[in-house]
Structure 1
Amino acid sequence: MAGPCRAFELPPELIAEIFEACLPPYPLCPDIHTSSTDSPLHLGHICREWRAIALSTPSLWRAIGMDATLWGQPLFKHLHLVKLFLERSGSWPLSVRLRSNPGAGAQRILLDTLGPHRQRLQYLVLGGDLFVFSKVVGSLPQLRGAEFVGYSESPLVHLSPLEVPTLSSLSLWGVSLASVPSPHQLTKLCLTG
């Protein structure tokens, strides 16, 4: 007896492409929460065959979105989902969006978790306690776009200690910028507040 997933008998590669089309276009980050219908986790709840296809398609897991201000729960309670996405994304470039309550310390936890994967970061959106990000130094060789949103009085954000040779788009919302990468590489700069 055929299950509901076997009705069309599509090849797994085609189903994977359909899954890609169900998600927001990269680099937009769907909310990774399991109740979100545009999360790859949701695709895995349909049936066993679809779950296997979703789990074996790393491109589905390369965009990580968390909005702890909407969930009303501490970010660390969902850190296992971030780790799951990082593991399942394989070696694909990453897009990460994290917005959390000010002072929650969520960025430090997330940035520590992202540390081993920083070479893959292509797009980064951070909102909340940006003081943590101002302490990050090192290389983000694939970072193309970054957006920083300060919810309250934000410290100066220093980007010069970072090696961001491919950064071309930078948006700052209510953030004081102390230094930027070489201005000739930026093609888009948005300053608000």
Structure 2
Amino acid sequence: MSSPMELDEAPQQSMGPSEHDPGGREEEYLGRSGASLRIDLFSGKLPREIISEILSKACNVGNAADLSFESTTLMPLRLSHVSRLWRDVAVSTPGLWKHLQVVVKRAEINSVLELIKLWVPRRKRQPLKIDVFFRDERGPFIIYPEDSLNLFRVITKTAALLRKGVNYDLDRAYFESHVKAGSSGVLPFIEERYLWYCGADNAPSKEDSHKVPLMVRGVRRAIDEFGIGYHEPLTSSLTRLELQDTNGVTCLSTTELLIILAEFRQLRYLSVYLDHGDTPAEEQVIAINLLTFKLAWAYTTDPGELLDHLYAPSITEMELSGDVPGGAAWSNLFDFFERNRPPLTTLALEHFDATAAVTRLADCLALCGDLESLWLENCIVDDEFVAALGRRSVMAQNSVLSRLRIFGLVSADDVTGDCLVQTLRSADSTNLKEIFVFDCNGVLEEHCEAILEQFRDTALVETIMITPGEPFD
């Protein structure tokens, strides 16, 4: 097949069957005007708007499922180097230049800046997204957080200066960073993400991110460990931190986790694994910006000291996974809720004792007036707890079930189906939109049918998934 550059010259004969196309398939596909269409693409006979649309379809940047370096960077560049006409049309087609991917190797960013100088003017007034990947082919320990941050600042400043005067509010900018650290086998790994939004006062929602005039995202991956001193350059920008290491590489203690919370005060999302508990200092740690808190701990660890020393009144989503000390009352979670009164909307518990004698979980939930989603998996849950979900308490004017939109109960073997059915029938459950009950041995086939029958004639429940468990011996 002819290359694009060879099509600048018109064919010397008509498009008929030939040794290259013995069946005339090319003529059948293109029609009688196929040859002239190919000529017009390079002669300028086609309207430039049509050529622009063809180039956009060829790039398919806007609809690419895989936003690869090939589709976002190489394709527009290649199309702009086919001919002088294509270059003129490509440069004046902003849709080809909506996304740029660049790679920074060590401290060499001159080629990256040259690409940015091409992309930004060609994008004109439309939103632009730039992805920067920090790599070092000689080893993972060459580019450090401080180095990548400095390089990232140069890139964002260059891009912003080129857009100066094009969009309004370019003096407004928001920067945040994310860190995800863990271990693969015996090796620790880390991923850092830098996100800079120009023309925004805060991180935009997913629905609004495409409207941001200029967005620059950076990614650094390495075999490395998370450390306070090492990541100190991220102190003012770190909003998301994941330390889900279960192979003993990070080995977080209660004191170390509280130090992290005290150091990174901008954290909004924290997901951690606590390896062992200890007795921290008396000072209380304030995490005023924390919205999502996901905590898992080893089976020999007591997270109570952590909850006692943490003041986080803004939490809206909480996940707890681990066993609490048995044999006596464990009031740390109730004290946490009573002290903080967070606007909690989502609570998920796994391997947790929900009974009144140990954690008073029903009383904890009564303090959460905004709760909308409750998920209990492999927890110790009894009929007393389930019945309490449907009753008003002295601490709340309505029941927990009356507030819930999502309710999930998985592998709760101490709950009987009769209690669950009666609680759902007697409680005000008109707000429930999704119900999930799986593998609860006391919930039999007839109980599932009764619950399905209760909600079958109502359009309020959007999803209901209930499967029977095994009967008690």
> Do both share a fold (TM > 0.5)?
yes
Of 183, 186, 189 in structure 1, the residue corresponding to residue 344 of structure 2 is 186
Of structures 1 and 2, the larger Rg is shown by: 2
Query: Is 1:153 aligned with 2:269?
Result: no
Q: Distance in 1 between matches of 2:151 and 2:188?
A: 33
SS of the aligned residue for 1:120 comes to coil
Q: For residues 109-164 of structure 1, what are the alpha-carbon distances to aligned partners after superposition, in whole Å with 9 as ceiling and x for unaligned?
A: 854763652322211111141525x7473211111111111243331434243211
2:265 is matched with 119
Q: Distance in 2 between matches of 1:186 and 1:147?
A: 13
SS of the aligned residue for 1:181 comes to helix
SS of the aligned residue for 1:121 comes to coil
- What percentage of residue pairs aligned between the two structures are identical? 14
Contact 1:130–1:157 at 8 Å: present in 2 too? no
Aligned residues: 163
Q: Distance in 2 between matches of 1:55 and 1:114?
A: 30
Q: Distance in 1 between matches of 2:128 and 2:259?
A: 27
CA shift in 2, pair 1:184/1:144, >3 Å:
closer
Of 142, 167, 180 in structure 2, the residue corresponding to residue 65 of structure 1 is 180
Structure with the bigger RCO (C-alpha within 8 Å, sep 6+) is 1
1:29 is matched with none
Q: Which structure 2 segments of 5+ residues have no match?
A: 1-109, 134-139, 159-172, 190-223, 325-329, 352-473
What's the CA shift for 1:72? 1.6
Contact 1:122–1:142 at 8 Å: present in 2 too? yes
CA shift in 2, pair 1:112/1:166, >3 Å:
closer
Q: Distance in 1 between matches of 2:155 and 2:249?
A: 36
2:243 is matched with 98
SS of the aligned residue for 2:265 comes to helix
Query: Is 1:138 aligned with 2:252?
Result: no
Q: Distance in 2 between matches of 1:118 and 1:93?
A: 6
Q: Distance in 1 between matches of 2:128 and 2:263?
A: 24
RMSD: 4.4
Q: Distance in 2 between matches of 1:161 and 1:112?
A: 8
Q: Which structure 1 segments of 5+ residues have no match?
A: 23-33
Q: Distance in 2 between matches of 1:166 and 1:115?
A: 14
Task: Tell me whether 119-128 or 100-109 shows the greater mean CA deviation.
Answer: 100-109
Q: For residues 3-29 of structure 1, what are the alpha-carbon distances to aligned partners after superposition, in whole Å with 9 as ceiling and x for unaligned?
A: 6532462349x9994238x8xxxxxxx
Which amino acid letter does the alignment assign opposite residue 59 of structure 1?
Answer: F
Q: For residues 54-101 of structure 1, what are the alpha-carbon distances to aligned partners after superposition, in whole Å with 9 as ceiling and x for unaligned?
A: 7999836x2111013x252468x6246x645441x3623521111224
Q: Distance in 1 between matches of 2:116 and 2:343?
A: 49
Normalising by structure 1, report the TM-score: 0.59
Normalising by structure 2, report the TM-score: 0.28
